[in-house]
Each structure stands twice: as structure tokens, then as C-alpha cells.
Amino acid sequence: MNLVQLATFMYPHEAHLAMGKLDAHGIESSLQDELTIQINNFYSNAIGGVKLHVLAEDLDRAKEVLALDYSAEQDEDADQIKETASETNAFQCPNCNSWNVGEPRLKGPFALLSTLLLGFPFPLVSKQSLCFDCHTEFKIR
């Protein structure tokens, strides 16, 4: 069994991401100096980082796998999730279609009174939503 160094990483979590990517493609790998750097991150530069090792015969394929870039596909997935959400989610501003909506903060004498009596503003179940972008109040369907 002949191990060769494939890559080095500053932090253990980066090495584990690469290791998971290799594992997903059926390539076995191991880490060296991971625990030393986990105990003291400042040793990482001194000892050359977390080393990712693979079998010599897997080296070329492992390099290809590490070079794979899925970011474009992830952007497509994110767009799909947003489209699905816009069809099903009622929490969107009817005025400007912003997703930056939430419950308005309690105001007025009731909030003051409940803060004085209870120590905190008593949360009422509010069916009103507030758009934080255009300040439109609307009812949640």
C-alpha cells in the first residue's frame, strides 16, 4: 500500500470536505496531522497543514475529482427551491414581492404595560405581517 500526498489544507474541516468528495466517488483517503492542528490551529503553517493522502494508483482520478466544480448546479438548485417556495409560501410581500417579511414589533401602551408587569413584552399571536423593505402590513393567508 503506497500512500501519496494529494493536497494540504489549513484547517481540518477543509480536508474533511475534500475527503467526503473523494469518498462520494469511491476513492479511499486518509488525513495526517489533523488532530495536531485541531488541538492548536497555529501549528498548521509550521507543520505544513492537514495532509490528504490517497493510494498512488488513485492519484490521477482523485485530482480530477477534487477539481470538479458543482457550484453552477447548486445555483440552479437554489433557483428551483426559490421558484417552488414562491408558489407555495404565503410569506411574501404582496406589494413588492420581497421575502424579507416578519411579524411587526409590539408597540404602544400594551407593550409598555406588559413589560412593566411581566418584565417582557407579552407576545400576542399576530396575523399581521410586515414587509421590512417597503413597510407594508398585510394579513397572512
50 Cβ neighbours under 8 A, 6+ residues apart: 8, 9, 10, 11, 12, 14, 15, 31, 32, 33, 34, 37, 44
Q: How far apart (Å, rounded) are the C-alpha atoms in residues 73 and 86?
A: 20
Stretch of 12-20, 33-41, 64-72, 128-136 lying at the interface with Zn ion (CB under 5 A): 128-136
6 CA to centre of own chain:
26
> Which of residues 28 and 137 has its CB atom nearest to Zn ion in the complex?
137
Q: Select from 65, 135, 72, 61 the least CA-distant residue to 98.
A: 135
Rule CB under 5 A: choose which of 35, 81, 96, 113 binds Zn ion.
Answer: 96
- Binding positions for Zn ion, 31-50, rule CB under 5 A: none
> Which of residues 46 and 96 has its CB atom nearest to Zn ion in the complex?
96
Say how many C-beta atoms besides its own lie within 10 A of residue 22's C-beta. 20
> Which of residues 103 and 133 has its CB atom nearest to Zn ion in the complex?
133
Rule CB under 5 A: choose which of 95, 115, 126, 128 binds Zn ion.
Answer: 95
Is 114 among the residues that bind Zn ion (CB under 5 A)? no
Please give the residue ranges that form the binding site for Zn ion (CB under 5 A): 93, 95-96, 98, 131, 133-134, 136
